[in-house]
Amino acid sequence: MRRVTRPVKAGNIAIGGRAPVSVQSMTKTDTRDVAATIAQIKELQSAGCEIIRCAVLDEEAARKIKLIKAGIKIPLVADIHFSSKLAILAIEAGADKIRINPGNIGSDLKVKGIISAAKSARIPIRIGVNAGSLEKYSGRQRHESAAVTAKKMVKRAVSFIRFFERNKFEDIVLSLKASDTLTTIEAYTRMAKECDYPFHVGVTEAGTVSGGTIKSAVGIGTLLHSGLGDTIRVSLAGEPLEEIRVGYGILKTLKLRDKGVDLIVCPTCGRCGVSLFPIAEEVERLVSGISRPLKVAVMGCVVNGPGEASEADFGIACGKGMGMLFKNGKVIKRVKEENLVEELMKEINKLKS
């Protein structure tokens, strides 16, 4: 069962409470380059990104938030390190939420300054505790267990929360990320016993698209499956669009969101009578822009193919050099291998009209 959390709002997107788990990403452009940043956010926006975070490295970047916001439709989170001044400037420039690690801002007084600016602007603050930054405070812990590091992360997060609460600020989202998946899982699981603030869940610096996808699917997926997580970010060293694709993939697998096409493809074996992988890749590419929930199956033979294809909204089950096209469980056509993708897409696209 999903953990009951108090809702927080970033712009028009609710995080926590009964809101669906939202998918976010971070721009990889220089925030000072307004045109490039807007272009990247627009691409992410059309792929389904619901919240965007931008790194704010200096005053120019903080001020540019105003211009960036004018060109996008989704809430913008300013990512701040080390400087209360930048956080306050970002808030004044219209950031919908800010992300800080209070431990690196400097002094309590400076953190109080950020709290009071966020309070006046009525925006939430994400308190981000990263295992990496923790090491600076308590010595290197490369060899300690996930449980020990997680315990320290939770202790630190609890002390930040209490400080915010003493300053009458409860518009909080929390994250406790580590690049080690087990530490991340352990930290969020322990933290859930301490508070009801919503969680931003992710495995930080997860890795390349393939390695990071595995870590994130296991880490974020495990947490979501135990009911923890209100908004997610998949961190990948790759195109930001991949983060959105993987994010929704995780949510769809757990039946937490049903946006977009659920593509089922058989792995093929000696029974496969067509060249299935190019067909599947082309279908995947062509359906990637579809946001309505659909199940599409691409199967390699007539043994298991028809069963799976007939359970999907659309499907193809191939024989030698050909395939049967299924729609809502019924065969509607026999199609030559070279025309399979085109005929399948014609049927899927009819839904749009």
**Which residue in 268, 286, 331, 333 binds ligand SF4 (CB under 6 A)?**
268
Determine which residue in the list 80, 201, 234, 272 makes contact with ligand SF4, applying CB under 6 A.
Answer: 272
Q: How far is the CB of 336 from ligand SF4 (least distance, A)?
A: 18
The angle at the Cα of 102, spanning 97 to 105, to the nearest 5 degrees, equals 100
Site string for ligand SF4, 177-216 (x = CB under 6 A): ----------------------------------------
Element (H, E) at 209: helix 209-225
> What is the C-alpha R_g of the chain?
23
Q: For residues 214 and 254, what is the distance between their CA atoms, to the nearest angstrom?
A: 15
Q: Which is nearer to ligand SF4, 7 or 307 (CB)?
A: 307
Cα separation, 318 vs 310, whole angstroms: 13
Shortest separation between residue 325's beta carbon and ligand SF4, angstroms: 16
Q: Minimum Å distance from CB 203 to ligand SF4?
A: 31
Cα–Cα distance measured from residue 228 to residue 222, given in angstroms and rounded to the nearest whole number: 9
Give the binding-site size for ligand SF4 (rule: CB under 6 A): 12
H or E element in which residue 129 lies: strand 125-130
Compute the distance between CA of residue 306 and CA of residue 316 in angstroms, rounded to an integer: 8
* Nearer of residues 77 and 266 to ligand SF4, judged by Cβ: 266
Q: Are 252 and 20 in contact, with CB atoms under 8 Å apart?
A: no
- Tokens, residue 94: 């219209």
Least distance from ligand SF4 to the Cβ atom of residue 341, Å:
17
Amino acid, single-letter form, for residue 106? G
What is the contact mask toward ligand SF4 in residues 238 to 267, using x (rule: CB under 6 A)? ----------------------------xx
**Smallest distance from ligand SF4 to CB 298, Å:** 9
CA dist 41 and 290 (Å) reads 18
Nearer to ligand SF4 by Cβ, of 139 and 267: the residue is: 267
Nearer to ligand SF4, 32 or 271 (CB): 271
Structure tokens at 159: 């002390």
Tell me: does residue 123 bind ligand SF4 (CB under 6 A). Answer: no
List the one residue from 42, 112, 119, 271 that touches ligand SF4 (CB under 6 A).
Answer: 271
Sign of CA dihedral 293, 298, 303, 306: positive
List the interface residues with ligand SF4, window 296-325 (CB under 6 A).
299-301, 303-305
Shortest distance (Å) from residue 266 CB to ligand SF4: 3
Note whether 41 and 69 are within 8 A (CB).
no
Provide the binding-site residues for ligand SF4, judged by CB under 6 A: 266-269, 271-272, 299-301, 303-305
